[in-house]
Structure 1
Amino acid sequence: MTKLLLIVAAAFVLQIVLSMAQMKHFSKEFVKLRRQGKVACGRKAGGLRAGAIVMFLLDEDGIVRCAKKMEGVTCLARVKPLPGFEGRDIRTLTAGDVPKSHKNLGKAVEDASLTFRKFTAGEIIPEPPSPFRKLGQSVGVVRKTIS
């Protein structure tokens, strides 16, 4: 029993270390782009599928100069180039601009486009709910269903 507990604890610590390394890598890549100009980001959590984050470096007119993505299920995912978006207006990007096999990547591209349109219109961009808030909302729905 003690060995099992130690293995679980070690796996938990390893996951934390790898997640921190992933966040550091993402932050470093984001800062590189941010030093060059405006950056629009979009994200789509994956759950059991591969999640995705996209970053678009934009010029003053909202035209994409550079695109990068981070896509994957594990904490081993790294930021990579996202070709095919250079020279395009971010306001017109849709999920259809990404191959259908990358569903969450397409949703992240749409999120970046929507976020940029809201920002330029002066709208407030809401924060996504935290995992604990999502859990609380799910529990509330289950409670209502049971009642």
Structure 2
Amino acid sequence: MTATAPALTALAHGWCALSLLHDRIEAHLERALQAEHGLSVREYSLLDVLSRQHDGEGGHLQMKQVADAVVLSQSATTRLVTRLEDRGLLMRYLCPTDRRGIYTNVSDAGLELLEEARPTNETALREALAEAAEDPRLEPLVRTLETVRVPAGTAA
């Protein structure tokens, strides 16, 4: 298949549209979260992921799992955790059963900020999708996103 084959071209156009949609949404969320709550999209995502942890079997995430969930390298995730810990939004402690393991939990202040920021995030997401739906290149993707349902108990 050559680089100009119709299937490859359609795939490339689809990827470009998806990338454009992602960038537009992320930029919109970033502006809203920074303006209203002093949070970046990555900080919000990290607080959200960590707030879903629970005590018990498989309840705490390892740093690699956290990094995968927020789509960052482990070193970038560690730096992000440190920044949020310095702001009093997270706390780290040793795993009680494995002294090599370190857990990260959202502090009460972090949970409060996250709850305040959730409506902002939701509103900004809806706004970004509504704007994107007006672009004929992005409208089919927006329609598809609106039909996606994540199974209960699955972290999104």
Higher helix fraction: Structure 1 or Structure 2? 2
Higher strand fraction: Structure 1 or Structure 2? 1
TM-score under structure 2 length normalisation: 0.35
TM-score under structure 1 length normalisation: 0.36
Per chain length, whose mean CA-contact separation is higher, i.e. which structure has more relative contact order (CA < 8 Å, sep 6+)?
2
